[in-house]
Amino acid sequence: MQESFTSADYARLPEGYPAQLIEGCLVKDEAPTYGHQRIQSWLHAVLVRFVDPDLALLSPVDVVLSEHDVYQPDLVVLERAPQRTDRNVGIPLLAIEVLSPSTSKRDREVKTGHLLAAGVAEVWLVDPEQEVVEVHTTSGVREARGAASIASRVVPDFVVVPDDLLR
């Protein structure tokens, strides 16, 4: 058994293999729930009103951060479109994770910090259980609950109201 996977090992996986590389560990998650997919689809529908659809992508997309970290955020907004044959979409401007009980700790405690350190301007965490939307940046965290809105600083006019998103 291999002790630590690398991005080169990850690249040899079949296209569409449902896994991420997190700190050298190949992590395969179950398919998301309907509620998770609904939130993800809703966010994408809102994003494409303000961003070219070629730049607002739903998972699975590979975001290669290092030799031992290849993430697949639920949604990303790119600065520029990669080549059609690229699997690595580069470092996004914005990454969104919809938290679930099985991924929440990893998304919050590991992936968010790594994404920000790699140059992602905003990492949004949508927590359906706590009914909160958090926006993480290198300068801190903003959050919104209920009818309070929260806006992106990197995608002009992208605003989310948790009550609308999580109803």
Q: Which two tokens stand for residue 40?
A: 């993800």
Per the domain annotation, does 104 fall within a domain?
yes
Per the domain annotation, does 129 fall within a domain?
yes
| Portion of the chain with pLDDT greater than 70, in percent | 98
Sign, CA dihedral 112-113-119-123, equals positive
Alpha carbons 106 and 146: distance in angstroms, whole number? 25
Residue 66's identity, in one-letter code, is S
| Portion of the chain with pLDDT greater than 90, in percent | 75
Per the domain annotation, does 2 fall within a domain?
no
| CB neighbourhood size of 27 (10 A) | 15
Looking at the structure of the chain, the number of domains it has is 1
Strand 122-127 relative to strand 132-137, pairing = antiparallel
What residue numbers bound the domain in which 149 lies?
A: 7-166
Per the domain annotation, does 23 fall within a domain?
yes
Per the domain annotation, does 1 fall within a domain?
no
CATH of the domain at 131: 3.90.1570.10
Model confidence, pTM: 0.91
Per the domain annotation, does 13 fall within a domain?
yes
Q: Which residue has the higher pLDDT, 154 or 102?
A: 154
Alpha carbons 85 and 134: distance in angstroms, whole number? 33
Instruction: For residue 163, give the H/E element and its range.
Output: helix 162-166
Mean pLDDT of the chain: 93
pLDDT at 1 over 70: no
